[in-house]
Structure 1
Amino acid sequence: MGSGTELRNARFLGGDDRFDLRVEGGRITAITPAGAVSRTGGETVDLDGRILTPGLWDEHVHFTQWTTQRSRFDLTGTAGVADVFERVRAVLRRGEHSAGSIVTGYGFRDGSWPAPPTLRALDEVTGPVPVVLISADLHCAWLNSAAAARLGAQPDPSGIVREGEWFALGPELAAASPPTTAMFRDSAEAAARRGVVGVVEFENTDNLGQWPERVAAGVDSLRVEASVWPHRLDGAIAGGLRTGAVIEPRGLVTMGRLKVVVDGSLNTRTALCWDPYPGREGHGAHACGMSSVPPGELRVLLEQAHRHGIAAAVHAIGDRANSEVIDIFEELGIAGTIEHAQLVRADDFSRFKRLGLVASVQPEHAMDDRDIADRHWSGRTDRAFAYGSLHAAGATLRFGSDAPVAPLDPWFAIAAATTRTRDDRAPWHPEQRVPLDLALAASMRGRTRPVAGDLADLTILDDDPGTATSERLRNMPVAGTLLGGRWTWRGL
């Protein structure tokens, strides 16, 4: 039969029958009952009843920031300003930062802090050392005066720089300490060890140029759909690129979607809502959040992209942002993806299916933000992170992490979506849970069983998700991952 790989005695999700799969030329060429066909040639691997599934995808990542996070000190779990200062002091005492570098932390969530951050207090702790503290949602950063001067920022008395102003500073901060190729390779291989075969890259950078270079340098454990932001749309069009076009020789990187961010986030209280945030009623135009890209501008961008064969992915978190984005998709008569869809007006759920809109959501965010949502979206959380309502209305769901906002690990999303809890807490709005088979499909591009003719992007599991506890689901043991028939992780 020639070269190739024979995966024998595999089980599929939801069944006990065993099958043999033949992989040749990067594709599944045959699926037969175990032992029914005798073949020779190539490698034979006995899966001994392990579960074989289509490879997992993370439908929303910021890969550079996920990779860079490893070199930033951790602010996760800080309950207030005092906790943050304790960690900052510890980092400065260790003196591990080089002269002239910007000391950077990541992961605070000030949306539930008892007292707000201030520039003056941070300056008192840090002195002349430039310090940047990035929020877990990536939509704001707390800068001291030294860092603000270094980056050319103008924070208000809180020291917080939000949304567009912060996004403009991000590339300069990244350039001060860029991740190495080895770091990118480690991140990609870590994802492969969790069964991941592909990611949708939404980093605000030159994804179309950088990812082919990374693949050529050996960062080749994943497929990458590379997005463009509005300021790079003209360049993609001039290059003749359309969504789905292959943009590097090995076929691992393809042109993705136009990414447009129309509002902010929950933690930063900039997600655009119909109702004001508690305590912000007197904040004028921003009492209900912020509009980063107004509807008229969004309409022009989506029309331009659609004319040139580039699909759209629109970030919308607040319920007003979601309503306005859905309105524009309906006016234009085009389908697309809404990223996050965290708070949705009741009348808008059914519009997802009717208009062919995909809800690209990140279920672990519901676990991270449940307390912040209870505080700032009080009385509305029955339709927050409402995956059950989206599913009941017939919407197509796709799961991601928004890494580094949540770990690049689809099993976290699958567990959060099906249990609505982690640790020992009671489920949060358990009516919004979704069935396991749907959660798996949302992480496997809609199909949970391999099919002959598919690319041989496969995940091998040591446990059956259908019988796993919530904790076991989060830590699902992955025995192997194949990308186009090539092992990117092999633990069996």
Structure 2
Amino acid sequence: MADLLIRGARLVPLTPGDAPPDHPVDVRVAEGAVVEVAERLERPEGVEEVAAEGRWLVPGLWDQHVHLGQWTLARQRFDLAGATSPEDVVARVGARIAEGPGQPLIGWGHRPGTWTRGVTVAELDEVTGVTPVVLIAGDAHHAWLNSAALAALGLPPREGEDQVVRENEWFAAYALLYSLTGTDGTSPAAYADTLRATAAQGVVGVVDLEFVGGVEDWLDRWGQGCDLLRVRMATYVEGLEDVVHRGLRSGMPLAGPGGDERLVMGPLKIISDGSLNTRTAWCCEPYADGDRLEHPRGAANLTGHELRHQLTRANVSGLEVATHAIGDAAVSAALDAYAATGAFGSIEHAQLVRREDVRRMAQLGLRASVQPSHLLDDRDLTELIWPGCAERSFAFRWMLDEGVTLVLGSDAPVSPLDPWLSIAAAVHRSDDDRDAWTPAHALTPQEALAASVDRQPMVQPGSRGDLALLDHDPLARGVEGGAGAVRDHLRGVTAALTTVGGSVVHRAV
């Protein structure tokens, strides 16, 4: 923590009832919190001063759903996000292999949901030979591997039409990828680089839902230069016993009482169903192409008994629960389990919902942790395989109207760790020249910003010293040119200064 004086900043209202001064003010931070806000403050001796010059000051932003290790790796991996077909992927991979024959290749980002055919191991083998190749889909729920990679990871050969590795089989294999490359690419230095880039966007904290690693991993990297932002570390069932043995509860410093309060225990993460792109999200109605699927409506990853058992175990151990539920059947089943066990926490994604379940979410006091940027990727696929469900997809307006606490995240690397992309998507619900998709569910810039600051109020005495000084008005007031111009303005917001506990973690002013 550090003392800091920000001079001449404009405060940004986060609710319709906020009444910030109509002129720039000075803001002083001491002992990790805002202690004074006034038109003119004297600078105490030895306190650093930053000239805001009329920029906009908001509580620091949070990304409430990040796989930080995977995002760190995705920034290093072969980018296939723009691939349009299996043939396009094969061509790109073949060209890359030709540049470095024999070097294992891990790709990231292709989205096969709208492709007109499945993929085969053989066509990948044809251009890769004995070089192991793993191509992770953009939803992170499945991967396309060649024969060399399948053998190296101990996976059986693929046969038939469905030749990708998906869901639980893939999650288990993912942890072994380091054996292909000789390094997992997530050194403390690599993490620190990711955290610095995150701070540069005005982000002060993340909820890290990484699949692998645990308490010791975070404590180790924290002591090696990764002590930059606030981090809430999740555990999965595989790491639950270690967390319980350490006596950790949600919100408790990982190093125990007296430890760094910026690095704390987060929730137990449960993946209760799959994803839209893999047609494994569990739905009440069949997919439009469900006749070719083993599970026409998707399927649960856990039985109701298993889900309730895991929620109960977390609840009695003092842990919140973050339950991944994308399909409407999965959301409903998760709510049943929360109601039966008294557990608390969030529904992660809630991509397809029924209005009555949104009401139940509010009644149970659960957060909706959503990723608006996913709607940009899933718009066309939703219309294709969930026909007639658009009005129940990414139903943010229902959630706010019913009183659900809404928090935004990216699910990076599924979408970029970019809060302004998420905010713009929540507001405009389109990333091209088409009109907004289901505009009735659009948020205002103020609502989207309020859902991005970890439920902090407008900057005022008593606020956390976690602040973002922005070069552009995050409410897009006065922007001319219509909804598209507002979207572009929000995407272009940049941070001049980011502070955590008053300590400067990013400076561009």
TM-score interval w.r.t. the shorter chain?
over 0.9
| Larger mean Cα displacement after TM superposition, 330-339 or 408-417 | 330-339
Task: Report the alpha carbon displacement of residue 39 of structure 1 after superposing the two structures with TM.
Answer: 4.3
Is the counterpart of residue 116 in structure 1 residue 118 in structure 2?
Answer: yes
State whether residues 457 and 485 of structure 1, in contact with CA within 8 Å, keep that contact through their aligned partners in structure 2.
yes
Cα distance in structure 1, aligned partners of 2:364 and 2:188: 41
The corresponding residue for 2:278 is 268
Can you list the C-alpha shifts for 1:111-152, whole angstroms capped at 9, x where unaligned?
100221112222122221111110000000001111000001
Is the counterpart of residue 241 in structure 1 residue 248 in structure 2?
Answer: yes
Which of residues 92, 99, 107 in structure 2 aligns to 1:87?
92
The corresponding residue for 2:214 is 207
The corresponding residue for 1:320 is 329
State whether residues 321 and 343 of structure 2, in contact with CA within 8 Å, keep that contact through their aligned partners in structure 1.
no
Which of residues 312, 324, 331 in structure 1 aligns to 2:340?
331
The corresponding residue for 1:43 is 48
Can you list the C-alpha shifts for 1:256-311, whole angstroms capped at 9, x where unaligned?
00000010000011001111122223545x11112112211010111111111111
The corresponding residue for 2:508 is 491
Cα distance in structure 1, aligned partners of 2:329 and 2:390: 15
The corresponding residue for 2:263 is 253
Cα distance in structure 2, aligned partners of 1:70 and 1:256: 24
State whether residues 367 and 420 of structure 1, in contact with CA within 8 Å, keep that contact through their aligned partners in structure 2.
yes
* SS, match of residue 217 in structure 1: helix
State the AA in 2 paired with 1:232.
G
Is the counterpart of residue 423 in structure 1 residue 432 in structure 2?
Answer: yes
Is the counterpart of residue 27 in structure 1 residue 33 in structure 2?
Answer: yes
Is the counterpart of residue 190 in structure 1 residue 197 in structure 2?
Answer: yes
Is the counterpart of residue 67 in structure 1 residue 66 in structure 2?
Answer: no
State whether residues 143 and 155 of structure 1, in contact with CA within 8 Å, keep that contact through their aligned partners in structure 2.
no
Query: Structure 1 residues 327 and 278 mapped into 2: Cα distance closer, same or farther (>3 Å)?
Result: same
Which of residues 363, 381, 386 in structure 1 aligns to 2:372?
363
The corresponding residue for 2:399 is 390
Cα distance in structure 1, aligned partners of 2:292 and 2:124: 27
Cα distance in structure 2, aligned partners of 1:435 and 1:414: 9
> Which ranges of 4 or more aligned residues in structure 1 deviate by more than 6 Å?
none
State whether residues 90 and 123 of structure 2, in contact with CA within 8 Å, keep that contact through their aligned partners in structure 1.
no
Query: Structure 1 residues 376 and 240 mapped into 2: Cα distance closer, same or farther (>3 Å)?
Result: same
The corresponding residue for 1:162 is 166
State the AA in 2 paired with 1:479.
A
State whether residues 312 and 336 of structure 1, in contact with CA within 8 Å, keep that contact through their aligned partners in structure 2.
yes
Q: Calculate the TM-score normalised by the size of structure 2.
A: 0.92
The corresponding residue for 1:301 is 310
State the AA in 1 paired with 2:488.
E
| Larger mean Cα displacement after TM superposition, 333-342 or 401-410 | 333-342
CA RMSD of aligned residues (A): 1.6
The corresponding residue for 2:482 is none
| Larger mean Cα displacement after TM superposition, 433-442 or 132-141 | 433-442
Residues paired across the two proteins, number: 485
The corresponding residue for 2:17 is none
State the AA in 2 paired with 1:167.
F
| Larger mean Cα displacement after TM superposition, 311-320 or 69-78 | 69-78
Which of residues 142, 153, 165 in structure 1 aligns to 2:155?
153
Cα distance in structure 2, aligned partners of 1:66 and 1:279: 31
The corresponding residue for 1:143 is 145
Is the counterpart of residue 231 in structure 1 residue 241 in structure 2?
Answer: no
* SS, match of residue 465 in structure 1: coil
Quote the sequence identity (%): 42
Is the counterpart of residue 472 in structure 1 residue 489 in structure 2?
Answer: yes
Cα distance in structure 2, aligned partners of 1:338 and 1:300: 17
State whether residues 219 and 254 of structure 2, in contact with CA within 8 Å, keep that contact through their aligned partners in structure 1.
yes
State whether residues 143 and 170 of structure 2, in contact with CA within 8 Å, keep that contact through their aligned partners in structure 1.
yes
| Larger mean Cα displacement after TM superposition, 366-375 or 440-449 | 440-449
Cα distance in structure 1, aligned partners of 2:194 and 2:322: 24
State whether residues 234 and 268 of structure 2, in contact with CA within 8 Å, keep that contact through their aligned partners in structure 1.
yes
Is the counterpart of residue 439 in structure 1 residue 438 in structure 2?
Answer: no
The corresponding residue for 1:178 is 184
| Larger mean Cα displacement after TM superposition, 153-162 or 336-345 | 153-162
Query: Structure 1 residues 244 and 155 mapped into 2: Cα distance closer, same or farther (>3 Å)?
Result: farther
State the AA in 1 paired with 2:322.
A
